[in-house]
Amino acid sequence: MRKINIGFISPYDAMVPVIEELKNGQHDLMIHAVTGNLEKGVALARELEQQGMDMLISRGGTAKLIRDAVTLPVIDVQISGYDLLRSIMLASGHRGEKKALVGFANITIGAASIVSLLEIDLKVVTLTEASDVEPVLNGLKAEGYTRILGDVITVNAAQQLGLNGLLIQSGRESILQSLEEARRLYKTQQKTQQLLRIFEYLLTEREQDFFIAEEDGKVLYENWSSFERLPLAPNEINSLLQQVKASDSPVLKIFTEVELPFSIRGTSWQDQKSTLFAFFFKQLSISVHELGGGLAEKIHQLPSLAAESAAMKNIRQLLEEPLLATTPIILEGLPGSGKETLARYVHAYHQKKGYFAVLPIEDLKNSFSELHALNVSTLLLTVAKSPSSTAVREIKEQLDVLAAQNIQVILAAEEIQPKLIDSLNMQEAVRIVLPNLTDRQGDFELMVHQFLTEFHQSLGTLPIKIRDDAMQELKKNHWNGNANELKAYIKKLALAEKEYVIEKSTVLKNPSPVQTQQKSKELFFENSLTLKEMERKIIEQVLQEEGFNQTKTAKRLGINRATLWRKLKE
């Protein structure tokens, strides 16, 4: 019997690993999982329809838009009581923050009951219209709320306002229920769109991103995969039409002064009595650019910052001052103490629109022209050792140019000598010394919970909390001030734990890097490891030995920092 082809369009990334895990047991289903929210989800739905799917599954507003755009049946993944309970319990671990759940009545009625029964400090706000999202969030922000639970639209809007968003994710129960609904629906509705899919396939000619227009610029058909929508204004479309009309061959145009650079290939052909124009799009790069020994990237979300200890509270309050959006900053602290996280926090909190760049100070000269070409708002220069006097003079001249371009410069080092500060004319920079992790005991549990939240949201890991005895076991380790090392270890635990709560037994079965280093510094490979897995193990080992300093790690491995960054994201 032929399997049922299902296109599963997840509006957020963390749902995909769950789908991939569950589909192994669905022997009568062929599930194709992709990620796309709202308009991008619609474009993916159209593509999946062209590929011969029998039906589609999505969630919330994305499912509604897809239902209006395609001819296939569309099943909506519901948010169950289990999903609400998990998200509310996850949020409750962020003590010291004012939290609110914002959504429509289908979510908030059940959420209000859970909050009331469990006596959780969480405000529940019901929306009546989609247009209410922004004013409601602005009101909550004015009241001091900092963490918002909701669906994809609400969380994205919260993050744009500088709030911490926590997405209510659909768990395994809800996804399994949607697959069961797909089976029931398939039994009552067989394929009726075969001829339409054939025409759609022939029309698109396997192109992922394109539109077809008439001579007056009216768009007849469009299909988007890499883009959320047509990335051109009407006047730009008309300009392209005129160029194609005047040319006997296809026209190629490149757009670089945009967030995601892309190229367009335009052609025309005669269709009976009129001329039609086709424009095919291709993205040239993602929002990360290599800069010699560093990288520049777009930051779209406020980084989590554990600041319950007195020292970190003072630092966070200082970083949030309006003056700190532009003035030079000097960050000092041990490797892995969070200097880059603080720099990213400054960039995101003050809602800068340009790139955030990270460079070793000795590579500034080689990457200077690239910084000119990119729209960089914040430049973090890492200082491993003081440059030579000749290099310092060149760096000072370059910093003067960057200051004239309103680029904020942040220096980061374990310790910066006063002589270097004077030579770079940065005496008026705000100097911040980061406390060691051992001096931030008030932040430890919050950091662990924030790391769990991050991995749950980005990787779809199961654990949402940690047992008290497991937390105490964690605290026994001497982390030597290295927050990055702690984060890497929590990621290891989150991947190893197969339940919603990390148990003490899981901690004991997975020794920390501190314990591993105490036992041996030798590196062993299991016979079953793939080449990629061995590469990952080597990177992790060198990263630990270099105190989680990415610049030193990249140099030792013979790769640039951007390549290391990508490999760590894999």
pLDDT tens digit sequence for 57-87: 999 889 999 999 998 999 999 888 899 999 9
The Cα 82–Cα 80 span in angstroms is 5
At 455 the pLDDT is: 82
Pick from 338, 356, 361: nearest CA to 292 = 361
How far is residue 82 from each of residues 107, 168, 500, measured CA to CA in Å? 12, 11, 12
At 196 the pLDDT is: 59
Query: What is the CATH T-level fold of the domain 288-435, as seen in this structure?
Result: Rossmann fold (3.40.50)
CATH superfamily of 81-167: PrpR receptor domain-like (3.40.50.10660)
Residue 68, phi then psi, degrees to nearest 5? -80, -15
Written as six digits, the tokens of 258 are: 């945009």
The Cα 505–Cα 508 span in angstroms is 5
At 399 the pLDDT is: 92
Q: Is 450 exposed, middle or buried (0-12, 13-18, 19+ CB in 10 A)?
A: buried
The Cα 82–Cα 562 span in angstroms is 40
> Domains of the chain: which residue ranges?
4-78+172-199, 81-167, 207-283, 288-435
Which residues, listed in sequence order, are joined to residue 276 by a DSSP beta bridge? 269
Query: What is the CATH T-level fold of the domain 4-78+172-199, as seen in this structure?
Result: Rossmann fold (3.40.50)
The Cα 463–Cα 33 span in angstroms is 23
- How large is the angle between the packed helices 152-160 and 133-142, nearest 10 degrees? 50
Written as six digits, the tokens of 227 are: 């883009």
Cα-Cα end-to-end distance for the chain: 37
The Cα 183–Cα 502 span in angstroms is 35
How far is residue 434 from each of residues 274, 338, 412, 428, 437, measured CA to CA in Å? 68, 8, 10, 19, 9
At 168 the pLDDT is: 92
Q: Report, as ranges of residue numbers, the positions in the chain whose pLDDT lies below 50.
A: 193, 518-521
Tally of helices (H runs) and strands (E runs) in the chain: 23, 22
- Does the pTM surpass 0.95? The reply is no
Question: What's the pLDDT tens digit per position in 177-210?
Answer: 999 999 988 887 755 545 556 666 765 555 568 8
The Cα 57–Cα 33 span in angstroms is 9
CATH superfamily of 207-283: PAS domain (3.30.450.20)
If one counts every other C-beta atom within 10 angstroms of the C-beta of residue 131, the result is 9
Widest Cα–Cα separation across the chain:
80
The Cα 455–Cα 451 span in angstroms is 6
DSSP per residue, 288-341: EEEETTEEEE---SPPP----SHHHHHHHHHHTSGGGGTS-EEEE-STTSSHHH
| Residue type, position 528, single letter | S
B/e letters for 366-384, b = 16+ CB within 10 Å, e = fewer, are: ebbebbeeeebbbbbbbbe
562 in Cβ contact with 295 (< 8 Å): yes
462 in Cβ contact with 421 (< 8 Å): no
278 in Cβ contact with 210 (< 8 Å): yes
Task: Give the β-pairing of 274-283 and 262-271.
Answer: antiparallel
The Cα 432–Cα 546 span in angstroms is 23
DSSP per residue, 374-418: TTEEEEEEEESSPPPHHHHHHHHHHHHHHHHTT-EEEEEES---H
| Residue type, position 136, single letter | V
The Cα 324–Cα 321 span in angstroms is 6
Helix, strand, coil % (nearest 5) of the chain?
45, 20, 35
Task: Give the β-pairing of 164-167 and 262-271.
Answer: unpaired
Say yes or no: do domains 207-283 and 288-435 share a fold: no
231 in Cβ contact with 242 (< 8 Å): no
Written as six digits, the tokens of 454 are: 């991050």
